[in-house]
Amino acid sequence: MPLKRVVIVPGNGAGDVVHCNWYGWAHKQINKIPGLSSHLKNMPDPGYFSRPWEWEKIRANVKHIVQFGSTDDPFLPWEEQQEVADGLKAELHKYTDRGHFQNTHFPELINAVQKLTKAE
């Protein structure tokens, strides 16, 4: 079954994500890809960091998990990012110079989505 929907899960868990950093930009770019629709909404804090992870339940909700992380993130230690990637069995894109990804554009995400549409 071809990839039809992309859900962007904001890492911050709250706030006006459409106007925050690259989220709104990526949403618009994904909606330009023929046959795809992007869903982006403000998410409540899921509380993942306040209880044990339930990796299987999280993975059961999606077909693909792509995670982006940077070793120089000032808020999330790399070890924690790696633990999440391992638990989710995510396709991890590891960077050394992106910090907390607080930029306004994120072309690597669009490339990853386009790659998934071709892999289906």
In angstroms, the CA 101 to CA 24 distance is: 14
Q: Is 87 helix (H, G, I), strand (E, B) or coil?
A: helix
Q: pLDDT tens digit string along 12-40? A: 555 778 877 888 899 899 999 988 888 88
Q: What number of other Cβ atoms are within 10 A of residue 89's Cβ?
A: 10
In angstroms, the CA 74 to CA 76 distance is: 6
Q: Does domain 5-119 have CATH number 1.20.1530.20?
A: no
| Per-domain residue ranges of the chain | 5-119
Give percent above pLDDT 90 in the chain: 44
The answer for residues whose C-beta is within 8 angstroms of residue 89's C-beta and 6 or more apart is 55, 59, 65
